[in-house]
Amino acid sequence: MTELRPRTVGELKATGYRPRTVKEEMRANLVRKLREEETLFPGVQGYEDTVIPHIVNAILSRHDFILLGLRGQAKSRILRQLVELLDEQIPILEGSEVNDDPLRPISKYARLLLEEHGEDAPVTWIDREQRYVEKLATPDVTIADVIGDVDPIKAARGGHILADELTIHYGLLPRANRGIFAINELPDLAGKIQVGLFNILQEGDVQVKGYPIRLALDVMMVFTANPEDYTARGKIITPLKDRIGAEIRTHYPEELDIGVEITRQEAWTSRDGVLVEIPDFVEDLVELVAFGARADKRIDQRSGVSQRMPITVMETIVSNAERRALRHSEEAAVPRVSDLYAALPAITGKMELEYEGELHGHDKIARELIQGAASHAFDQRGGGADVEEIVEYFESGGVLQVGEDAAADACVRGFEAVPGLLELVEALGLAPRDTNDGVRAAACELTLEALVAQRRISRTSAGYTRARREGPSHGMGQQGFDPGSLNV
């Protein structure tokens, strides 16, 4: 049975209700979750020992805070999950635009309602989702948008003079009263708008333009910002930054397995009508491309390489494998290395290049990242493996052509011509004997691509062929990528 909520101020008082601030409310709910060992911020991975403890400390301290980090580091997701620390429902005076507490009203509308109806003043209840207000900061945001302004239409319809408080059109901040107000990309907010936030962060009130009143708002203020924005587009003015309780730094996944888990969680890989099977070494390969890009000196690391890169790459390689499976009526769509080259648009669009990188070009760098990732993915499983028989085959004039759109069974028949190749991927556990042809083909492609990256064999438009002898490798190793630092 649905619990009956008090519907008047008198009924609410009879329950023993006592007002409390939103920061007290969030603190109390957080304390309960910690005692009951509930998961905080479900779905946000890799921050358990770094970012989340700092957020917990800020909330326990009743501080406003800012998340500072590069793009694609789950900043907005974290802010939106703060809603879970609010009560499921709270009472407000019916009709209030600023969520007036029935026992502690701040607006003239609420005060008049209580004067007229007293204990019978109507009360309604709002869900916690209605108490989260988010605004993307853009240069065209005005004080009226955030705080409020005169509303001539309200004045005309109500017969009020313009100085009457009842003619106020409330901005987003007053409408977030008794809730959470989030501003994304704070540096993009014009300086004069940032000045308008001073009072709410320090004294807990705001002054609406043109009115001799101050609204004593009860708001949890949270922000996000990208460090690059401080010089590229704008900055957080010093007095505002000083008023924000905590500056919490976010980061990209520090371990490969965390990155794989995030991509696995976020990427859309389940397709209707087609079974999708993604080998674990392909998952590592996709993530290694992103890790390599974050260490490549030719890529602008101030802009960062978003976690959206491996997510979109994974979705694209699955789609390419799905297209191939449908074309050949295969039971399972299994992504392989060649599908990463089909996903080049998902890679190049996520990279901002330095001057040296511009000289090489997005496409060339992306191809080198794929080769370097293949080399590291193979070494993680086959480091020290004897590949001389495979290399000897190509050095003695052998050539192998593998088409991107070739069926898995056709690829395996081709790989059988390379002495020791299928036996090697089976011995390394990349493709056990009882696995399907799609996984076996993917494992063989990984092995050959790694040999290409290591300059043991070559790949041209004619297929895999004899080893190249010219020049050093330009794989991820030369760009400072250290696979030994990864926890695979």
What are the pLDDT digits (tens) for 90-140?
Answer: 999 999 999 999 999 999 899 999 999 999 999 999 999 999 999 999 888
How confident is the model at residue 233, as a pLDDT? 54
Confidence at residue 471, expressed as pLDDT on a 0 to 100 scale:
44
Give the chain's largest Cα–Cα span: 98
Question: Which residue, 372, 379, 378, 327, is CA-closest to 347?
Answer: 372
Residue ranges of alpha helices (H) inside 87-197 are: 108-117, 143-146, 152-158, 172-175, 191-195
User: Do the beta carbons of residue 259 and residue 290 sit within 8 Å?
Assistant: yes
In this predicted structure, what is the pLDDT of residue 469? 53
Two tokens, residue 70: 């590069």
pLDDT(480) > 70: no
Q: Which residue has the higher pLDDT, 190 or 325?
A: 325
Mean predicted lDDT score pLDDT of the chain: 88
Which tokens in the block code for residue 336? Answer: 């392989």
pLDDT for residue 232 is more than 50: no
> CB neighbours (10 Å) of residue 340?
29
**Look-up: residue for tokens 């040296």?**
356
Residue 466, SS3 per DSSP: coil
Give CATH 3.40.50.300 domain extents, the chain: 9-249
Three-class secondary structure of residue 270 per DSSP? coil
* pLDDT, tens digit (0-9, with 9 covering 90-100), for 164-212: 676 778 889 999 999 999 999 999 888 888 888 887 887 777 777 666 6
In the CATH hierarchy, which top-level class contains the domain 9-249? alpha beta
Q: Which residue has the tokens 């007229």?
A: 116
What is the pLDDT averaged over residues 428-435? 89
Confidence of residue 159 (pLDDT cuts 50, 70, 90): low
Is it the case that residue 251 has pLDDT exceeding 50?
A: yes
CA pair distance 162, 73, nearest whole angstrom: 46
pLDDT for 152? 62
419: which DSSP letter? T
* Of the listed ranges 55-69, 189-203, 281-295, 328-342, the one predicted with least confidence: 189-203
Give the three-state DSSP class for 488: coil
Q: What six digits make up the tokens of 246?
A: 């905590």
Q: Where are the alpha helices (DSSP H) in 353-468?
A: 355-360, 362-382, 388-395, 408-415, 421-427, 437-453
d(CA 71, CA 308): 9
Please state the φ and ψ torsions of residue 401, each to the nearest 5 degrees. Answer: -105, 125
pTM over 0.75: yes
Provide the sign of the torsion angle of the four alpha carbons 140, 143, 147, 150, taken in this order. negative
| Per-residue model confidence (pLDDT) at position 237 | 87
Amino acid at 284: D
d(CA 105, CA 114) in angstroms, rounded, equals 9
Beta bridge pairs of residue 170: 148
Q: What share of the chain is helix, strand, coil (3-state, %, to 5)?
A: 50, 15, 40
* 475 band by pLDDT with thresholds 50, 70 and 90: very low
pLDDT, tens digit, 9 for 90 and up, residues 140-158: 888 888 888 776 666 566 6
Q: What does the DSSP 8-state code read for residue 132?
A: E
Local structure of residue 331 (DSSP, 8 states): S
Return the pLDDT at 472: 41
Distance of alpha carbon 223 from alpha carbon 250, whole angstroms:
13
More confident of the two residues 454 and 231 = 454
Instruction: Indicate whether 375 pLDDT > 90.
Output: yes
Lookup result for tokens 């002495």: 419
Percent of the chain with pLDDT over 90: 68
Q: Is the pLDDT of residue 478 over 50?
A: no
Who wins on pLDDT, 247 or 192? 247
Work out the angle at residue 68's Cα, subtended by the Cα atoms of residues 55 and 350, and round it to the nearest 5 degrees.
Answer: 125
Asked whether the predicted pLDDT for residue 337 surpasses 60, the reply is yes
